[in-house]
Structure 1
Amino acid sequence: MGQTIEAAVSPEPTDEPTATVPWRSRTVQIVLTSTALAPLGVPLISPALPVFRDVFGITDAQASLLVSTYFLVGIVLSPFIGILADRIGRKRVLVGGLLAFGLLGGAMAIAPTFEALLALRIAQGTAAAAIFITTVTIVGDEFDGVQRNAVLGANVAVLSATAALFPVLGGLLAGIAWNAPFLAYLAAIPIAVFAQVALDEPDRSDSGHGIAYLTDVARTIVTPPLMALFVVAFLTEFLLFGVIFTAMPFVLATAFAPVMIGVVILASETASMVTAMSSGRLARSLSNEWLIAVGFACYAIGFAGAWAAVDLVPTMGAVVVVGVGVGLLMPVVDAAVSDRVTTEYLAGAMSLRNSTTFLGRTTGPAVFAGLAISAGFGYESLLLASSIVAIAATGVAVVAGPVRLARATAHHAST
């Protein structure tokens, strides 16, 4: 079941190749190209929301449903998708998810009404959840130790890079025609064909059927260590989307043009990408618990720096530190979950992680906007409050590492 407890806390030195990404691996190529599609979901169409509003004669709130419903479906259906991947195989779910993602997205280009467009969008959110879940599950199946961290780091780096580039592409396509951005989704179809031809289905043991299987999945997933990791996943996305993608743009809008706000967010995404690419090397010398602690410490420093900043340069520096935290936290959560779950239930665990991730992305902006406007706290105060929350999370992670090591040592001595 992955690394031993002692190795997870204090990784032994390994040969350098084990901490690198096997770029020639067909599995890695399929995972990374599939992951590259993920930002087509929201960043690609976000710049075009005003265009959709004007074309269909709807309100801003109605146009925003194209974003919110995309994540909400994933929150609800991710566990069922995970169970399906454990029962019928990762490859079938990934290929089906890619085909549905591409075909449903392409169909949006000819949607006759906004209601039809929204219905296609909701269905596409289900397909996107299938891609998210199966890609990280396949990495957990195929790789171990620090190499797993390295591949998951590359996965986050690809996600950050495309998330930074696709808003520009979406804006350019929307300038050509209102439905041109949706044609980009068709890129998922050749990737699905590639996955069908080149991907090998990981070996899985027969884990039972029906109610017995569901009971085994719940027993495996609902444990204190895994629940703690899901809290980390939620808090990572909740603070990221609440601060960087909600509070910061409103704070910066009082002094800077929208293009500069985009540059600030791009700086954060770039730092996340660079850091995530180093995840495997970092995992050779630091345990997952310590990497989580350092990640939240970066959050605390970055949020506090953004709160104190009075000019663009210090603000840029602050969000870069936050981006480093994102690049540390995201790969480590998936690696740590993979360490603790056997292969036959890994997709179920990853599906719950996906639900918590989507929940953080959905609630973060809503909570921060509500507290800032309705409750009257103001976005600046929320930056400082977020730093305090991140400090608390850092402290919990710092304590968790030694406690786990002490328990592992006691268990080892008793056996």
Structure 2
Amino acid sequence: MSTEASDSTAVPWSSSTVRVVFAATALAPLGVPLLSPALPVVREEFALTDATTSLLVSVYFLTGIVLSPFIGLLADRIGRKRVLVPSLVVFSLAGGAIALAPPFRVVLAVRLVQGTAAAGIFVTTVTLVGDAFEGVQRNAVLGVNTAVLASGAAVSPLLGGYLVTISWNAPFAAYLLGLPVALFAWVALEETAVEETPTRRGATYLRAAASNLARRAAVVPYATALVTEVLLFGTIITAMPFLLVGTYGVSPVFVGGVVTVAEAVSAAVAAANGRIATSLSDERIVAVGYACYGVGLLVAWWAATLPVLVAGVVVFGAGVGLTMPSVDALLSDLVSAEYRAGALSLRNSVTFLGRAVGPILFAGVAVETGYRPLLLAAGVVGFAGVAATLVLSGS
């Protein structure tokens, strides 16, 4: 697998790898942000509690938690393209099937299947970038990739908020957009040669990949991926729609607009990661991101008016834009290409764990506390992350 070494912060837009990765990444926000404004409508349609409704988000990530390492093994053994294309097809068809309005228990079962395919997309796209680029150019491409993700997450809630005004299941038709992306990936992406070695086999591979990561330097990126997703999906994706609707009586479209503003800021910050990385180490970028989590969530907790609450959400979004490209850059540097998909698949397991736990944790605890005290607690966690990152990285 060739690596394009460059000190340039420019993104090589002519690269077929870049184009495929960005196109596939643009689909990812259809997984959950598209549905965030629809949660209150789904709750009413099926007469559910907030916690039960949040399963629509959580179950999507359950299989990815367990299966991501094996998806990484598969991508390292048979190649990235042979995993990415089928994942795109299954993601699209499974999601589109829910537009047929099955019972809620069937919806959850199909979301499990769709989430498994989404894990394949997440693992292979970031691994492709790690294979093809290095240095600050890798940061630049990963930053724009995160920006594409955030931009899609900015548009998806608006689309979901509009579609759910038609019917609760209308947003799921949007998943069929994945089929032309799968065709594009099949045509445009070149498969890299995969050398079969004893270290690429089953448990031997997993042990070797784990030993490559059994060091202090791995704690920061994996812990940050977990904390980021717990806070993002617990507060912004799950708690915020219920808080906004319950406290301010806003419409699903307005809820989608709030998430959109936060994601737009995240996209702008992530796109600048390559330039930021020329001045700050990835560990310090992550620490600044944690500080944004703390400030943003404490502002949202303290807010007496809707505009101030939205301002807090925006600061949080900037933190996500700072941290996630640097997390992937740190992990890509930790291991050789032979184990890169494995390392990034473990990151995906941690990411999906955070996304599964966050909605259930926040919606469940809110039954006793309400949502605002949870914002205070989450803000404190953000500031604790600053200190932990600086200590663990030796900064």
Question: Structures share a fold, TM > 0.5?
Answer: yes
Q: Secondary structure at the match of 2:247?
A: coil
Match of 1:294 in 2: 288
Distance in 2 between residues matched to 1:307 and 1:49, nearest whole Å: 22
* Residues 1:393 and 1:173: Cα distance change in structure 2 (over 3 Å): closer
**Can you list the C-alpha shifts for 1:36-66, whole angstroms capped at 9, x where unaligned?**
11121223344445666777x6645665543
2:235 corresponds in structure 1 to 243
Q: d(CA) in 2 for partners of 1:140 and 1:214?
A: 19
Write the letter of the residue equivalent to 1:182. F
Alpha carbons of structure 1 residues 223 and 47: separation in structure 2 relative to 1, 3 Å: same
Aligned partner (choices 345, 353, 359) of residue 351 of structure 1: 345
Residues 244 and 143 of structure 1, relative CA distance in 2, 3 Å threshold: same
Q: After superposition, where does 1:172-251 map in structure 2 within 5 Å?
A: 172-176=162-166, 179-208=169-198, 209-251=201-243
Is the Cα–Cα contact under 8 Å of residues 154 and 262 in structure 2 kept in the other structure? Answer: no
Q: Which digits, 9 at most, give the CA deviation of each residue in 1:98-154, with x for residues without a partner?
A: 111122233334466555444332211111110011101111111111111111111
Structure 1 pair 369/277, CA: closer, same or farther in 2 (3 Å)?
same
Shift of 1:373: 2.8
Q: Which SS does the other structure have where 1:286 is aligned?
A: coil
Q: CA deviation at 1:221?
A: 3.0
2:79 pairs with 1:89: yes
Q: Deviations over 1:228-273 (max 9, x none)?
A: 3211110111122223234444554424524544433322111101
Contact 2:54–2:359 (8 Å) recurs in 1: no
Pairing of 1:387-402 with structure 2 (within 5 A):
387-402=379-394
- Of 243, 250, 253, the residue aligned with 1:257 is 250
Change (3 A) 1:47 1:395: closer
Question: Cα deviation per residue 1:159-204 (whole Å; 9 max; x = unaligned)?
Answer: 1111122233234344445654333222212211211121122455
Query: Displacement of 1:2 after TM fit?
Result: 12
Contact between 2:10 and 2:140, CA under 8 Å: does it hold in 1? yes
2-side partners of 1:326 and 1:202: how far apart?
31
1:77 aligns with 2:67: yes
Moved more, 105-114 or 360-369: 105-114
Residues 115 and 322 of structure 1: is their aligned pair in 2 closer, same or farther, counting only changes over 3 Å?
A: closer
**Aligned counterparts of 2:216 and 2:195: Cα–Cα separation in 1:** 25
Cα deviations by residue, 1:346-377 (Å, 9 ceiling, x for unpaired): 11111111111111112123223333333x3x
Distance 2:44 2:306 in 1: 33
Q: 1:114–1:247: structure 2 CA closer, same or farther, 3 Å change rule?
A: closer
Task: Decide which of 14, 26, 43 is 2:33's aligned counterpart.
Answer: 43
Residues 322-341 of structure 1 correspond to what in structure 2 (within 5 A)?
322-341=316-335
Q: Residue 312 of structure 1 corresponds to which residue in structure 2?
A: 306
Report percent identity of matched pairs: 54
- Using the alignment, how far apart are the partners of 2:314 and 2:100 within structure 1? 40
The CA distance in 1 between the partners of 2:178 and 2:130, in whole Å, is 23
CA contact (8 A) 1:20 1:281 kept: no
Unpaired runs of at least 5, structure 1: 4-13, 404-415
How many angstroms apart in 2 are the aligned matches of 1:317 and 1:51? 26
Contact 2:33/2:153, CA 8 A, preserved across alignment = yes
Q: Which residue of 2 aligns with 1:285?
A: 279
CA distance in 2, matches of 1:178, 1:314: 30
TM-score w.r.t. structure 2 length?
0.88
C-alpha deviation, 1:321, in angstroms: 1.5
1:367 correspondence with 2:355: no
The equivalent residue for 2:146 is: 156
Aligned mates of 1:317, 1:50 — CA distance in 2: 23
Counterpart contact for 2:59–2:356, Cα < 8 Å = no
User: Which one of 264, 280, 295 corresponds to residue 270 of structure 1?
Assistant: 264
The aligned residue for residue 11 of structure 1 is none
CA distance in 1, matches of 2:39, 2:379: 31
CA RMSD of aligned residues (A): 2.8
AA paired with 1:95?
A: V
Deviation of 1:89 (Å): 0.8
Q: Distance in 2 between matches of 1:58 and 1:305?
A: 33
Distance 2:376 2:39 in 1: 31
Indicate the larger mover: 332-341 or 184-193: 184-193
Question: Do the aligned partners of residues 112 and 207 (structure 1) sit closer, same or farther apart at CA in structure 2, a change above 3 Å counting?
Answer: same
The question of 1:138 aligning with 2:128 is answered yes
What secondary structure sits across from 1:200 in the alignment?
Answer: coil
How many residues matched? Answer: 388
